[in-house]
Structure 1
Amino acid sequence: MREAIAAVFIIMGLIVFLLSIFGIFRFKYVLNRIHAAALGDTLGLASIVVGLMILDMNFFAGAKLFLIILFFWMSGPIATHSIAKVEVLTNKSYEERVREK
């Protein structure tokens, strides 16, 4: 039963990664692509690591995997925000798009 639950989480994470890849190629605007990549990275990796935590019931291995999730949850949005901020500051067509609306 534990293996089935872990497999569901791992497959869910892979589906999130695939949807993220689809979003990266589907969207035309850079900030939308960054958003799709960031969500896929955070949610997909967290789901896969939770599946691995369920699969391996060792406390120390689970604690290490939890720290990996925590690190990615803290560093992923910060890195994504930094990249998006650089895009907004350096892209002149962004200002034109905002003024048109």
Structure 2
Amino acid sequence: MNRIPEYLMDLCNSYLGEHAWELFVRSLCLADANLNGLSNLGVPSDIEKVLIYKVGPIEHTKRWLFSPVPALSYYKPIDIIRNYKEGEVILRTVLMRMP
């Protein structure tokens, strides 16, 4: 795994923790429909559920994963997950901040 860039480290450091993430995931009305569409990409199931809830159908979610995201310093979310051990924490932080 690569070392996380300094400007993404702020996101990692501002993560509210596992308990906050679990409460956040439970607070959303998440259905199990359309899941496992991202597992072959290496996206954890909890993040997949939140992405589908926040971004939309699987096609939209895949497009978001492969697009540069301003909140991630224009990194692609899929690259964050694949290349940094802190990738899941960074994505969780961004997802919890999304309206």
TM-score by length of structure 2 reads: 0.24
Bigger relative contact order (CA 8 A; separation at least 6)? 2
- Name the structure with the higher helix share: 1
TM-score by length of structure 1 reads: 0.23
Larger Rg: 1
